[in-house]
Amino acid sequence: MKIIQISDCHIKNDNSLVYGVNSKQRLYDVINNILFSKIEFDFILLTGDISDDGSIESYAYVKNILSKLNKKIYFINGNHDLKSNLISTFSDNQMFINLDEILIENWVFIGLDSCIEGKDFGNLSDSELKKAEIIIDKAKKLNKNCVIITHHHPLLVGTPLIDDCPIMNGSNLVNLIEKNNHIKLLITGHVHNRYSIRIGNNAFLETGFSSFAQFQYTGSNELTDIDKDNFGYTYYDLSENSYKCYSILID
Ligand SMILES: [Fe+2]
């Protein structure tokens, strides 16, 4: 099974730049690259901060451009998204599915909402954690592996610019992963760069590129520590019990 993760598109309604970059043009370039490269994939994971301003128009732009891929798009919301506008704008296209729980081949994908409206940092509510536990237990009984998808990162990645706003109670999720060997993978957006960090004995946190600009690995300043040159997407190739992860940057 092959998956493309597109993350942190930060589309704006008014065409103004985000960190000095045209995020609309960059998403257009990403989608064209996927189309013209003829890369094989089964579905898209869209891991939040789809919009920068939460506007209906920004979601309509994303819906229009991603529809060209003609594959299912499982999405979660990020701290910049306005969930009500996101859901309502995507709701008339059956290709777009708010990720909750899906079973595909030997893998169960679990989408958890880590957002608190109006806040940049994240939190996992008791009900989201309970939902995760129930699905994880069910997957264990079915002898399936799990992939968890959140917008925010639950453990610090070492970049001051983004470690200000992780999932504040992320240790709950990390503990859950550490005690369940059938959870192989945690995928997040939010950090605007690629990290691969081991969790426990069997899992990794893999984070996706932003589709328009990255935070420099040592960055602490939102004005100066932006990598405007690199953008792209992240590619996962899942076999029965393991996976490989590739970074795709666009020239
Ligand atoms: Fe974010």
Ligand 1 mean position, distance from CA 201 (Å)? 27
What is the Å distance from ligand 1's center to 189 Cα?
7
pLDDT for residue 113 = 98
Question: pLDDT per residue over 108-129, tens digit each?
Answer: 999 999 999 999 999 999 999 9
Distance from Cα 67 to the centre of ligand 1, integer Å: 23
Question: What's the gap in Å between 113 CA and the centre of ligand 1?
Answer: 12
What is the distance in A from the centroid of ligand 1 to the CA of 172? 20
Please identify every residue whose CB atom is under 5 Å from ligand 1, which is an ion. Answer: 49, 78-79, 190
CA 4 – ligand 1 centroid, Å? 18
pLDDT at 44 over 90: yes
Residue 15's pLDDT band (cuts 50, 70, 90): confident
* Structural domains of the chain ordered from first start: 2-249 (3.60.21.10)
Q: 64 CA distance to ligand 1 centroid (A)?
A: 22
Q: What is the pTM of this model?
A: 0.97
Q: pLDDT at residue 251 above 90?
A: no
Report DSSP letters for the chain, one per residue. Answer: -EEEEEB---B-TT---BTTB-HHHHHHHHHHHHHHHT---SEEEEES--BSS--HHHHHHHHHHHGGG-SEEEEE--TT--HHHHHHHHTT-TTEEE-SEEEETTEEEEE---B-TT-SSB---HHHHHHHHHHHHHHHHTT-EEEEEESS-SS--S-HHHHTSSBTTHHHHHHHHHT-TTEEEEEE-SS-S--EEEETTTEEEEEPPBSS-EE-TT---TTT-EE-S--EEEEEEE-SS-EEEEEEE--
- Centre of ligand 1 to C-alpha 153, Å, is 9
User: How much is the pLDDT for 152?
Assistant: 98
Residue-level pLDDT at 246: 97
